[in-house]
Amino acid sequence: MTTATTTIADEIKLEVKERRPFSLAAFLKNRWFLYTVSLSAFFGIWTFVDYTKVLGNGIAAPNAVVVQIFRLLTDTIAGKTIFGHIWASTHRVLIGFSIAASIAVPLGILMALNRYINAIVKPVFDLLKPMPPFAWISCAILWFGIGEPSKVFIIVVGTFVPCLLNSYMGIRLIEPQLYDVIRMLGGNRKDEILQVGFPAAFPAIFAGLQISLSIAWTCVLSAELVSARSGLGFVIIVGMQLSKPALVLAGMVVLAFVAWATTLLVTYLEKYLCPWKREAVAL
Amino acid sequence: METNHQHKIVCWNITKIFIQKGTQRVHVLDDISLDVKNNEFVVILGPGQSGKSTLLRIIAGLETPTTGKVLLDGKEVAGPGPDRGLVFQSYMLFPWKTVMGNVELGPKLRGVPKRERREIASYYINLVGLQAFENHYPHQLSGGMKQRVGIARAYVNNPEVMLLDEPFGQLDAQTRYFMEKETARIWETEKRTVLFVTNNIEEAIYLGDRIISLKGKLPGHMHKTYEVNLPRPREHTEMKFLELRHEITEASELTL
């Protein structure tokens, strides 16, 4: 309690220290000034590259991309507005992600709790683990055709590994003395798993889900780039085929935004479900 | 083998050898025999690497002795159980449970109905002085407060014996003095047979009816036993306290 007050006091002291009379050197070292420099340089170089046509017609200026994004809100591509395409990709991500999570998380937990299950699953898992998910695209198309199942399959394959590994490690890295507490209080093996195993592994399982979700977006994009009639990957491909760099970049920006938004959703879900976690480690 | 029913705990020729990496043998305890009377406060004093924590874990039933036996009320200890309350050096609270959730866990596991177990838990939370913090999570508490929760959680099952494994080892010196006082107060209110492990001589004299000192390095073995015949509450600066402190310091390797 006392420690909390001292830290706040220290913070105030720091703040007070920062309020000095204006000096150019201090201004140039200011964090916000440097942020502005960084972003202006980025957009400046981007505009310059477009203006000088170094990349030919392969790039669009930032303002053109923004205009394109606004036009996407009303225009349709292959009979769908941008929201239709966002939903098409999100739909695939959700299905693939749910299938992978509902198999991989319980399997990882079972592997951590039972060494026989571990001994049976582990060799096959280790064999397939280093395979990049995109290596499966050709197989997926051969097996499932170019429809929805092949895209979902890629996502399942890509998200399975981090889901399983994180739930496995989550259970494995639990402080063994926490189990001792349960045993001393008269609990049995079932109590050890329910009272310690699951809640202690929960943050790690959630970290796995979060990593999986961002991988799912990478997977859905690559699957859509190969073959699709809808989705954000399809929008990007259409832009490429029509030689419209503004459309390509607009598709990329929307994709990044949607992927970020879904990850944020998981972060808030975790905060809601694990109120005991300290909020110190953000980002 | 005699079994004296006056004794709450009897340790009889306990030896412990850990086997590491399949072949390496680590001899941790060598021929430890001791007994603790009912409601006696016994401190096991020893330097680091003298096997004192292992001894406590054997009495708790979390480890099995390589040779020898532990008797509790004349019956051999076969495993961990709620008749012994254990307080851990590093607290071992459940971070996902509130203070109340941590303390009521014992009765919950024994199937005590909610209202009843809340009542028992509240009593012990009050006893350790945390009545205003029932709904706080462990990370919101200071070290001393965390260990108060640890003590309440061990007491709540109404154990025959309290086992404390260097409970104040992670606290700063001031908090430590205060917690020692609190421990003495709690023990006076709720008398139990206590085995208290520490490496701190003053803590041992302040709390113990009797001090059993172990000698390290591994394997730890019995060294000396001291009776502390000082009236409670004790003062660290009393003449007799200081004399005993001097005597123990002289006889042990702790001053290094």
Count structural domains, chain A: 2
Q: Is the pLDDT of residue A109 over 80?
A: yes
Between these two residues, B50 and B62, which has the higher pLDDT value? Answer: B62
**CATH number of A129's domain:** 1.10.3720.10
Contact B94 A185 (CB under 8 A): no
Among A65-69, A240-244, B173-177, the range scoring the smallest mean pLDDT is B173-177
Does some domain include residue B34?
A: no
pLDDT in tens, A152-164: 999 999 999 999 9
Does some domain include residue B23?
A: no
B95 has a chain A CB within 8 A of its CB: yes
Alpha-carbon gap: B117 to the closest alpha carbon of chain A (Å):
14
Q: Is the pLDDT of residue A146 over 60?
A: yes
Does some domain include residue A281?
A: no
Q: Which domain holds residue A25?
A: 2-56
Q: Is the pLDDT of residue A281 over 60?
A: no
Does some domain include residue B109?
A: yes
Does some domain include residue B73?
A: no
Nearest CB to A178; choose among B84, B92, B139: B92
Q: Which domain holds residue B106?
A: 39-63+78-251
Mean pLDDT computed over every residue of chain B:
87
* Mean pLDDT to the nearest integer, B160-165: 92
Assess contact for B4 and B10: CB atoms under 8 A.
yes
Mean pLDDT computed over every residue of chain A:
87
Q: Is the pLDDT of residue B71 over 60?
A: yes
Are residues A266 and A163 part of one domain?
A: yes
Per-residue pLDDT, A282: 37
Q: With the C-alpha atoms ordered A125, A129, A131, A132, is the resulting torsion angle positive or negative? A: positive
* Mean pLDDT to the nearest integer, A124-128: 91
SS3 B210: strand
Interface test with B, best of A6, A185, A191 (most B CBs within 10 A): A185
Are residues A51 and A81 part of one domain?
A: no
Are residues A112 and A8 part of one domain?
A: no
Does some domain include residue B159?
A: yes
Per-residue pLDDT, B256: 42
Assess contact for A78 and A234: CB atoms under 8 A.
yes
Per-residue pLDDT, A1: 41
Band (pLDDT 50/70/90 cuts) for residue A283 is very low
Nearest CB to B60; choose among A178, A184, A186: A184
Does some domain include residue A11?
A: yes
pLDDT in tens, B15-41: 888 888 778 888 888 888 889 998 899
Alpha-carbon gap: A185 to the closest alpha carbon of chain B (Å):
5
Contact B92 A191 (CB under 8 A): no
Q: Is the pLDDT of residue B200 over 50?
A: yes
Does some domain include residue B256?
A: no
Contacts of residue A274 in chain B, CB cutoff 8 Å? Answer: 96
* Mean pLDDT to the nearest integer, B184-203: 89
Q: Is the pLDDT of residue A8 over 80?
A: no
Are residues A111 and A228 part of one domain?
A: yes
Count structural domains, chain B: 1
Are residues A88 and A46 part of one domain?
A: no
pLDDT in tens, B121-143: 999 998 888 889 999 999 888 88
Band (pLDDT 50/70/90 cuts) for residue B113 is very high
Are residues A52 and A190 part of one domain?
A: no
Distance CA B188, CA B182 (A): 10
Q: Which of residues 119-158 of B touch A (CB under 8 A)?
A: 137-139, 142, 153-154, 157
Q: How many CA atoms lie within 13 A of A87 on its CB side?
A: 5
Assess contact for B213 and B62: CB atoms under 8 A.
no
Band (pLDDT 50/70/90 cuts) for residue B196 is very high
Are residues A12 and A108 part of one domain?
A: no
Contact B95 A276 (CB under 8 A): yes
In terms of Cα–Cα distance, which of B51, B12, B59 is closest to B29? B51
Does some domain include residue B13?
A: no
Does some domain include residue B57?
A: yes
CA distances from A98 to A54, A92, A127, B237 (A): 44, 10, 23, 67
**CATH number of B122's domain:** 3.40.50.300
* Mean pLDDT to the nearest integer, B70-96: 90
Among A263-272, B2-11, B75-84, B151-160, the range scoring the smallest mean pLDDT is B2-11
Per-residue pLDDT, A268: 86
Contacts of residue A7 in chain B, CB cutoff 8 Å? Answer: none
Contacts of residue A183 in chain B, CB cutoff 8 Å? Answer: 62, 79-80
Distance CA A120, CA B221 (A): 45
Are residues A244 and A107 part of one domain?
A: yes
Does some domain include residue A282?
A: no
Token pair for B2: 């005699």
Say what percent of chain B tops pLDDT 90: 25
Are residues A134 and A160 part of one domain?
A: yes
Are residues A123 and A20 part of one domain?
A: no
Q: Is the pLDDT of residue A129 over 50?
A: yes
